[in-house]
Every structure is written in C-alpha cells, then in structure tokens.
A and B are shown apart, each in its own frame.
Chain A
Amino acid sequence: MKKAVSIPLYWLFLASYFGYAGYNLGLGAGGRPGAGFFPFGAALAIGAIALARLIRLASESAIFATTTSEWRRIICVIVGMAAYALLLDPLGFALCTFLLMAAYLKLVAVQSLRLSLGFAAGVAFFAHLFFDSLLNAQLPRGLLAWLL
C-alpha cells in the first residue's frame, strides 16, 4: 500500500519543482510564450494526473508486488559504471576497462579470480585494439599513455 502511493508523490514533487522553476523562467506575455511556459504547463499536467492517480490509489487497496531480490548485484553494476566514468580520464580506457570487467566477473558473476582477470585482460586488449587503434575513437589514454 505504501509503495503504491509513494510513486504519485514523487510525480507531485517533480511537478512542483518544474512548475515553480518554469514559472520563474517567465511565462511570457502578449501571446509570446516564454521560456518557462511549456515546462510550467507540462508540470501542471503531470501534477494533475499524479493527483488523480493518488486519489484513486488511496481509495483502493493496491497490491504492489515489486520485489528486488538481488540488490547487491544492481548496486555493484551501477557503482562499477560510476567508478568507470570517474576514473576514465585519469586511468585511461584500457585500464578502466580491465578493472571494470574484472570487477563484474568477480563480484557479480562470482567467478574465480584467475578467470576474471583473464577475461578482463582479453576484453581490454581487444577493445583497445578495436576502438583506439582501428577506429581512432579519441578515448582517454590515462596512465598507460606511455605504452600506447
């Protein structure tokens, strides 16, 4: 019950922020919609729909079966990607790829360390070959720049 109601609340929160910001940006005058007109309008519409859902859900007993059984994995994947993004410039493409692949294989797929490192090395090597050398895709060199 609680879960079902909380979603429309998020929408209402979103709507109020964008509505407020849109209003501040200026709704425009004299038949010339300003920068904030459409965001304000969209926020208003979102708010209205969310309110309608809220009322409807509050008056029913909604059973929301959303279960997440593998939180650890989800968090791991996301943190991995975030870390990759942060470390890409300093460490460089090849190194980051290696670390990410190894981490995923070891922590999420729960494979042996040797397999993880081997897989990671292979992927990093071929990815570097393919994207950097072949396609010249301007990926950061980072730490291993002296090697490549």
Chain B
Amino acid sequence: METLVALAQGALTAAAPLNLLYGFVGVLLGTLVGVLPGLGPAGAIALLLPLALHAPPLAYLIMLFGITYGAQYGGSTTSILVNIPGEASSVITCLDGYAMARQGRAGPALGMAAFGSFIGGTLALFGVAFLAPALAEFGLHFGPPEYAALMLFGLTALVYLAQGPMDKALLMALFGALLASIGLDPVSGTPRFTFDILILRDGIGLTPVVIGLFGVSEVLLNLDAKAGEVFHSKVLGLLPTAQDWRDSTAPIARGTLLGFFIGSIPGLNVVIATFASYALEKKLSKHPEKFGKGAIEGVAGPETANNAASCSGWIPLLSLGLPTGSVTALIFGALMIHGLAPGPLFITNSPEVFWGLLGSMIIGNAILLVLNLPLIGLWIKILRIPYYYLFPLIVLFSIIGAYTGSASIGDVVITIAFGFLGYLMKKFAYEAAPMVLGLVVGPLLETAIRRSMIMSRGSAMIFFNRPIAAVFMALALFMLLSPLLTRRRLGHEIIEKLEDH
C-alpha cells in the first residue's frame, strides 16, 4: 500500500512544471534518437553530459531516463517503414512489421507497436515499484553458470525463429557467433581474427551489422526490380482493427511478463527479450506459418517485451547501484555528478529521487503514447514518397547511423559489407534473424561457459549442481526435444522438408 502512495507522490513530483518540461524534452529526444538508426540513447545521453553540471538534478535525470525508454518507442518506426532497425532491439520488429507495411498495414503495425510499448512499459514500472528489491536480490544469484544455461535455453529459441530449413538457420547462427568472436577475447584478452587492424580489436558492432543486413540489403533488393517498377506501398487504414486487438492481447500480456523478467537479469541485452517474445508467440500461435509474412503478434509481443525489459533493466542500477550496460553506466555517471551515489541504500537514502524517477517514467510513457499515435499519419506519408527519392535518403540515414556510433569509418564499411551480404542472403534464401541471434547470444554463451569452467576448474558439473543453472539446462533440453514430441510440429516439419527440396 505504501508503495502505491510513494508512487503517487513520485508522480506528483514528476508532474511539477520544471520536471515535466525536462521529461517531455527527454521523451521527445528519445523518440527522435530511436527513430534515427544508429544514434542510440547512449550517444544522446553522452551528448547531454555537459548539461549535467548546470541543470537541476531531478529534472535532468528525468530527461535522461526519458531518452532511454523513448528510444524504445521510436525504434520500431523505421523497422516497420523501411526495414531498418532504429535500435538493435527493434530488429525483430522488422520481420513482421515491415511485411505488414508492404501489405499496406504500416498504420496498424505502428499503432500496435505504440500501444504495446505503452502497456508493457507502464506495467513493468509498477512491477519495478513493487518488486525491485526482491528481483535485484534474485538477479545476484546469476553467475556465469546460470548465464550459460540461460543462453543455451535462449539458443533453443532458434528452433522457433527459423521459417525455412533448420540447417540454413543453424549455419546463419553459427556464422553470427563466429563473427562475434572477432576482436579481443573477453576472457583471455587475446586478439582474435583482427589481422592487426586496430579498429577490429573492439569487434564488429551489432548496430552497423543490423543496419546493413536489414536496411541496406532491402534497398538493394528493391532496386533490383525491373526498370520502371517503382516500389509502391498502398496504405489501408491508420489504426489497428478490432481483429488486430483480439490477436494482440495475449502477446502483449506475455510480452510484458517475459520482457519484465528478462530485463531484470543484470547484463542481458534488451534484444534477447524481443527474440524470446517472438519465439514464444510463434510457438503458441495457431498459425505459425504466418510469422514473417505480417502477423501482428510478431510486432505486438516483441515491442511490448522490449519496453518492459528496458524499464525493468533499471532494477540492478536503482536497487543495487550496479550499472549493467552502456546506458546504465552513463546514468550511473550522471547520478554521480549530482552526488547521488547509487547503491543498495539508494531507495532508502534518496526516496524522492527514486520515486520521482519512477513517477516520471509512468507519466513519460503516457506522453509517448499520445505523441506517437498522431505521428503515425506523418510516418505513413513518408511511405508515399516515390522510391527513387526515398532510397537515397535511406542509404544516407544508414551511413550516418553507422558512423555516429563510434565516429569511425570502419562501421560504415561494415554496414556496406553486410548490406551486400544481406542482399546475397535474401537471394539465396538465408535468413538474417538467426544470424543476429548468433551474434548476440554466441559471445554471451561463450564467455559464460569459459568463465564457468575457470570457476569450476574444469568440471562441467557446475552447470547441473547449481539450482538455477540446472533449471535452465532442463528447460533448454525440453525446448530441444519438444518439437519431436508434439505431433503437430512434427507434421509441419515433414511438410516443410517435402516443400523446400
């Protein structure tokens, strides 16, 4: 009960004119940053750091927080419209969102993404308010063996991401994992596959890869049409239909829960929550073959999950004072600038700040919904631009997006290379999503396993004699074997095998 009171007070604080103003600017900037591919919340926050020394503390923090979850709203926009993930976490939205746009249903896709984001974010915030300390404690139990088991479980989601033949999807995932190993080995510090090129020491970033793989390759593919054929997108309706709502309710609910819990585990990229949601929805769907061709569940679930995850991602920082990613590290710095040391006693020592921030996030989510819905009409108009004028802009935005990540030409080269690769992949029917999964989960799995082996000094039993790890190992095994157990999926497999050879 006191939690609700505290939350209400926090919301009141956040609604003070100055805080509201900064909050509004924050979510606006966040949306912008999310829409622009490549420019992530980390970059925007870094740009605003000099302001930290002059702005009022709470208002400034509200603005920074606004940027982070605002970006999750905007990220889906370009994914749906032009197949460029605005944020790495919007990659999955490209799959069905863009397909829907090509069917003229960009409006419902954008609308459902906005609604899902709102519901996921707001519910997650209530979850944070009530469960933060408990979840933070739980998160501490995740050591390397638990992460390894969790990632293994996550890889089994691969089974449900692939539309085509499994062996091609596996090839892509393994390839993604190989690419991710380029750079300094996080465990031993040995440079791997860097050919003494300095820029490669930090590895191949996820952002330039997905911009090229999804965005640029799509441009190349569209231009490959016969001369005179202009890419046209008819627009049917601006908002989701009643049927859309019926289809999306359950995915949104599941996405919220999934995103909330995955996000609260320290160190997991929000992307993972979106992959998990997509895989779950596909598994539970009565018509899995529709996924990838414009199933709105494939947009509603992941978009909800990524907002829920980005909200619960604050738990390790706010409850324990542990920054678990680049954005949280920046916010940690911002809190330090104002002398608000985040730590286990943060909530107790600075309740106005904690509850004020939570309250501001709830208000912010509402602002974002109201902001984004009318914008849908504007975004749709962009699709009306003749492709001959649109594609140079897409290419330009891709280049800028790739460049601004770390101010390096190297990232642009990567985008170009993966753009071409993505084009070839589409021609030869290889999917990009499994590669992204491999790229993200591969290194996490590898470092987790190797660290676990160091801890256990060579014994693999460490994955089984620790309770949480054992549970996930069992789940992973179940996921691997369950397609063989369910006759329905078995039937589908047989049909697929007959179809594609």
Cβ contact within 8 Å between B388 and A105 = yes
Which A residues between 45 and 68 are near B, CB-CB below 8 angstroms? Answer: 45-46, 49-50, 52-53, 56, 60, 64, 66, 68
Cβ contact within 8 Å between B175 and A46 = yes
Contacts of B192 in A (CB 8 A): 21, 25, 35-36, 39
Contacts of B446 in A (CB 8 A): 38
Which B residues between 430 and 448 are near A, CB-CB below 8 angstroms? Answer: 442, 446
Asked whether A74 is an interface residue with its Cβ less than 8 Å from the other chain, the reply is: yes
Cβ contact within 8 Å between A78 and B392 = no
Cβ contact within 8 Å between B501 and A32 = no
Interface size for A (C-beta < 8 A) is 61
In the complex, what distance in Å separates the CA atom of A50 from the CA atom of B450?
27
In the complex, what distance in Å separates the CA atom of A66 from the CA atom of B425?
11
Cβ contact within 8 Å between A42 and B171 = no
Chain A interface mostly helix, strand, loop or mixed? helix
In the complex, what distance in Å separates the CA atom of A137 from the CA atom of B400?
9
Contact of A136 among B47, B400, B453, B501 (CB under 8 A): B47
Asked whether A109 is an interface residue with its Cβ less than 8 Å from the other chain, the reply is: yes
Q: What sequence of 0s and 1s flags, for each residue 391-420 of chain B, a beta carbon within 8 Å of any chain A beta carbon?
A: 111011001100110010100110110011
| Residue on A nearest B416 in the bound complex, by CB | A81
Cβ contact within 8 Å between A84 and B190 = no
Which A residues between 113 and 138 are near B, CB-CB below 8 angstroms? Answer: 119, 123, 127, 131, 135-138
Cβ contact within 8 Å between A101 and B392 = yes
A44 CB to nearest B CB, Å: 9
Cβ contact within 8 Å between B400 and A135 = no
In the complex, what distance in Å separates the CA atom of A26 from the CA atom of B185?
12
Chain B interface mostly helix, strand, loop or mixed? helix
Asked if A66 meets B427 with Cβ closer than 8 Å, knowing A85-B399, A135-B47, the reply is: yes
| Residue on A nearest B32 in the bound complex, by CB | A135
Asked whether B449 is an interface residue with its Cβ less than 8 Å from the other chain, the reply is: yes
Asked if A33 meets B416 with Cβ closer than 8 Å, knowing A18-B178, A70-B227, A123-B396, the reply is: no
25 CB contacts below 8 A, A to B, read: A7-B428, A14-B175, A25-B192, A31-B456, A33-B453, A36-B192, A39-B178, A39-B192, A42-B442, A56-B501, A60-B501, A66-B427, A73-B223, A73-B224, A74-B220, A77-B395, A81-B395, A100-B396, A104-B392, A104-B395, A105-B392, A109-B388, A109-B389, A135-B39, A137-B47
Given contacts A7-B428, A66-B427, A101-B396, 19 further A-B contacts (CB under 8 A): A14-B178, A18-B178, A26-B190, A32-B454, A38-B446, A50-B171, A70-B224, A70-B225, A73-B224, A77-B219, A77-B391, A81-B216, A100-B395, A104-B395, A105-B388, A108-B223, A108-B388, A111-B388, A136-B47
The 3 A-B pairs with the shortest beta carbon distances in the complex, nearest first, are A31-B458, A109-B388, A104-B392
Q: Which residues of B contact A (CB under 8 A)?
A: 39, 47, 167, 170-171, 174-175, 177-178, 181, 185, 187-188, 190, 192-193, 216, 219-220, 223-227, 388-389, 391-393, 395-396, 399-400, 403-404, 407, 409, 412-413, 415-416, 419-420, 423, 427-428, 442, 446, 449-450, 453-454, 456-460, 501
